[in-house]
Amino acid sequence: MTQSLTIARPDDWHLHLRDGAMLQAVLPESARHFARAIIMPNLVPPVVTHADAAAYHQRILAALPADQSFDPLMVLYLTEETDPEDVAAAHASGLVKAVKLYPAGATTNSASGVQDFDKVRGVLEKMAEIGLPLCVHGEVTNSDIDIFDREAVFIDRVLDPIRRATPGLRVVMEHITTKDGVDYVKANDSDLGATITTHHLIINRNHILAGGIKPHYYCLPVAKRESHRLALRAAATSGDARFFLGTDSAPHIDPLKENACGCAGCFTATNTMALLAHVFEEEGALDQLEKFASRNGPGFYGLPVNTETLTLTKSDQPTQFPEKIASGDGPVTVFDPGFPVYWDVA
């Protein structure tokens, strides 16, 4: 028996598209299902200025296959040199929808991130004034803080002080991985939202480390223990308008993942919607999938919900997802949930 679910076309509120040959390879994987995405600016060099964002936007549109529609929502990478007036102009032009805060050294290509938060105070105040959201990679980078504690410590030491010092600043905690993140969002008002990835609803840290190390499950923030995964599932399926999908689909070629010092990032663009249908069905919450993937994100960003739709169908045969996507730079492994999935996009 075929079961089907039609929802408003989803958006991805946290996506890495890269550039050049990799952009060419991965963009169609997202554009096939998603209407829009918040495009992460951690290129080398990063997308820092309005002009950088305009040029990257052009390169994304140039790489888009003619038969696909996709609206890249551009993001500026916050540095200690960022000019508040450039940010305001980028927002006023309609091109830029958020600014991204990476603590220096927190993750892939974050060397230009912020070390001294006082140096970005002027930018944050300008953003609060004009209503431009700040997306934060919520991990401290201190070597004395255990990697599994870095999100919780970031909330106390960095995020809460920034929010208190900048009233009216709208903040998205990106890719939350802990119950602490869920609880912090729930304890605050609608100026604070959070994205949740597909893979953090599926794996905990045992999946990465037990029975042999699985490099394709390694991402940042790293998956935590099972109780945190369950808290993320409860938040994502709750319908609460402050939680929405950001896949953090982050392609790296296999030689850089299967490596003595492997890169962080899970590539989930290809099968995210099918995996989410599986997860939401397991939670008895298929009726909440549209809010998580298609409604809550536009609500937070003040954008209209897409008028097109996406239909998911469930069959009695497991869906065969491609194991890898080929790119001009090399193969990229598609996230494997480790169990059969019967859903697919129709």
Q: Work out how close the CB of 248 gets to ligand NCD at its nearest, in angstroms, rounded to a whole number.
A: 5
- Return d(Cα 288, Cα 304) in angstroms, integer: 18
User: Applying CB under 6 A, which of residues 76, 159, 182, 219 lies at the interface with ligand NCD?
Assistant: 219
Considering only residues 8-67, where is the footprint of ligand NCD by CB under 6 A?
16, 42
- Return d(Cα 240, Cα 309) in angstroms, integer: 21
Choose the binding region for Zn ion from 77-85, 115-123, 154-162, 242-250 (rule: CB under 5 A).
242-250
Q: Which residues contact 196 (CB under 8 A, 6 or more apart)?
A: 175, 176, 232, 235, 236, 243, 244, 245, 246, 292
Q: Work out how close the CB of 223 gets to Zn ion at its nearest, in angstroms, rounded to a whole number.
A: 14
User: Applying CB under 6 A, which of residues 220, 245, 279, 312 lies at the interface with ligand NCD?
Assistant: 220
E strands along 182-308, which residues?
192-196, 243-245
Active site (annotated) includes residue 71: no
Considering only residues 247-266, where is the footprint of Zn ion by CB under 5 A?
248
Is 302:238 a contact under the CB 8 Å cutoff?
no
Q: Which residues contact 297 (CB under 8 A, 6 or more apart)?
A: 11, 13, 195, 244, 245, 246
Q: Work out how close the CB of 285 gets to ligand NCD at its nearest, in angstroms, rounded to a whole number.
A: 25
Count of positions on this chain that bind ligand NCD (CB under 6 A): 11
The residue at minimum Cβ distance from Zn ion is: 248
The C-alpha torsion from 223 through 133 and 89 to 11, rounded to 10°, is: 70
Structure tokens at 75: 């993001």
Considering beta carbons, is residue 28 or 262 the nearer one to ligand NCD? Answer: 262
- Return d(Cα 122, Cα 141) in angstroms, integer: 23
Structure tokens at 156: 């106390």
User: Applying CB under 6 A, which of residues 137, 150, 170, 179 lies at the interface with ligand NCD?
Assistant: 137
- The amino acid that residue 330 corresponds to is G
Choose the binding region for Zn ion from 21-29, 52-60, 70-78, 241-249 (rule: CB under 5 A).
241-249
Q: Work out how close the CB of 173 gets to ligand NCD at its nearest, in angstroms, rounded to a whole number.
A: 12
Q: Which residues contact 66 (CB under 8 A, 6 or more apart)?
A: none
Q: Work out how close the CB of 26 gets to Zn ion at its nearest, in angstroms, rounded to a whole number.
A: 13
Considering only residues 240-299, where is the footprint of ligand NCD by CB under 6 A?
248, 250, 264-265
Considering beta carbons, is residue 216 or 291 the nearer one to ligand NCD? Answer: 216
Q: Which residues contact 113 (CB under 8 A, 6 or more apart)?
A: 77, 78, 79, 101, 102, 103, 104, 105, 106, 137
The catalytically annotated residue of 248, 329, 336, 344 is: 248
Considering beta carbons, is residue 128 or 202 the nearer one to Zn ion? Answer: 202
| Residues at the site binding ligand NCD, with contacts judged by CB under 6 A | 16, 42, 107-108, 137, 219-220, 248, 250, 264-265
What are the catalytic residues?
248
